[in-house]
Structure 1
Amino acid sequence: MSGQDVAVHAPLARGTLSSGARELLKWIALLSMTGDHVAKVVFGGYVPVVSEFGRIAFPLFALVMACNLAQPGADLGKSIRRLSAWGLVAQPLHMLAFGYWLPLNILLTFGLAAAAVHALTNNRQLLLLVAGGLLPFFVDYQWAGVALVVLGWIAFRHRAWWLLAFGFGGLCWVNGNGWALLAIPLVLALARVPWAVPRSRWAFYLYYVGHLAVLAAYAQWLR
């Protein structure tokens, strides 16, 4: 392995992704998700390449979140509250855009995943049963989505990367295809972004709610 290869994979060897990588991956995921949602609402469900590219959105979000939760001093309680609050705000718009209440939007999926991580960290078995065993039935990507975040969190904390095979396997099963696997080489390629990407904590939530509002307005106009 060359020196450059070692440098690229060093952040994963240390059990983390650079701050710049996390921010860049998050925006790539947002772009991927937006294309997928536009394909569903505006073009009847499928647009070649765009829809396939959309399958990398969730695993990118999940791995970035898992890495963030694995950072020393991560405030799990704040993550749970923030994701839950924004997820509840987004849900009516999600319903108007896509025409259904269930499954609930991915912010609530990630809220449950953060709660499951909190339960594991604090040995709260009842909370783990509820957040990881019962409530995923109601959210997008269900148990596979929550599991990918939780397994990613364990992987980043303990460098047990083999666990991600189970997470991605479940996700591909839910999707009915293997396009989500394209997220893996993308994460490896950007694991050590050498430049600072400005952090935009609130912009992500505002964008998510805003793009759903636009899609909801379009869907209601068509009807």
Structure 2
Amino acid sequence: MQSLKLSDGQIEALKWLALLFMTLDHINKYLLNSTWPAAFDIGRLAMPIFAIVLGYNLSRESVTLEKHKKVAEKLFIFGVISTPVHASLGNIYGLWPLNILLSLFSAAIIVYLVRSQKYFIAIVGLVLTSLIVEFFIFPSLIVLFTFLAFKYRYVGFSLFGLAASITGLVFINNNFYALSSIAVVFLTSKFQLKLPRVRYFFYFFYPAHLLVIYLIRLSMESQGYLFFT
């Protein structure tokens, strides 16, 4: 991990890839009744990549505790904004589980508590939040182990924890495609990429694309299409 350093351009590329994977997965899930297996498999990479990117960004030397809180605040605000349309698209039990932005928000809070050396509260928070957010405990673990690897250079321990956390997603995904996210991050680190940062775009995109999908779905339902998710 010491030899792996991601440039700003590489981080942006990973975010765009994760966004593409996520969008294909949501189109398949919410508009195509999950009839496109390849989109489902590709979609398994989205969350781990977003979580790795978040963990890496939080580990940067320039990210003080104050900046860390601001990142968490943005995730919370846009997660709350996304909640009504996310629930309307067909959660299992109304608002449960909370959407992925709130999963990443909880992960950012756990890492903040670790940085503040409030380990017991971090463990309690990790357990409790895992019960209410999308992908349960795994986003927080992926963010945490990525953060530990890059911030404190706990390489062996962190890599094992990261791989184990992503492997654990098999209990949700019923396949091991999420592990490919590690390969995607590694391969991206080998290319010199210079992509400009689009400030706030990814925060706005999440609720916006869910709303567009929801409106398309309403139109399709009015024409007689049936949806089962």
Residues 195-210 of structure 1: pairs in structure 2 closer than 5 A: 195-210=193-208
| Alpha-carbon distance between aligned partners in 2 of 1:201 and 1:175, rounded to the nearest angstrom | 31
CA contact (8 A) 1:108 1:139 kept: yes
Give 1:76's match in structure 2, choosing from 36, 44, 68.
68
Q: CA deviation digits over 1:64-119, x for unaligned, max 9? A: 11110111121211111110011000111111223442111100000000000000
Q: How many residues align?
A: 212
Give 1:132's match in structure 2, choosing from 126, 130, 136.
126
| TM norm structure 1 | 0.88
Other-structure match for 1:9: none
Other-structure match for 2:140: 146
In structure 2, the gaps of 5 or more residues are 223-229
CA contact (8 A) 1:39 1:46 kept: yes
Q: CA deviation digits over 1:171-221, x for unaligned, max 9? A: 233222101011121111111431311111311011111101111223334
Give 1:33's match in structure 2, choosing from 1, 22, 45.
22
Give 1:17's match in structure 2, choosing from 6, 10, 19.
6
* Superposed displacement of residue 45, structure 1: 2.0
Higher helix proportion, which one?
1
Other-structure match for 1:67: 56
In structure 1, the gaps of 5 or more residues are 1-11
CA RMSD of aligned residues (A): 1.7
| TM norm structure 2 | 0.86
Percent identity between matched residues is 30
Other-structure match for 2:210: 212
| Alpha-carbon distance between aligned partners in 2 of 1:48 and 1:144, rounded to the nearest angstrom | 23
Query: For residue 96 of structure 1, what is the amino acid of its counterpart?
Result: S
| Alpha-carbon distance between aligned partners in 1 of 2:5 and 2:169, rounded to the nearest angstrom | 22
| Alpha-carbon distance between aligned partners in 1 of 2:130 and 2:164, rounded to the nearest angstrom | 17
CA contact (8 A) 2:163 2:179 kept: no
Other-structure match for 1:94: 86
Query: For residue 50 of structure 1, what is the amino acid of its counterpart?
Result: A
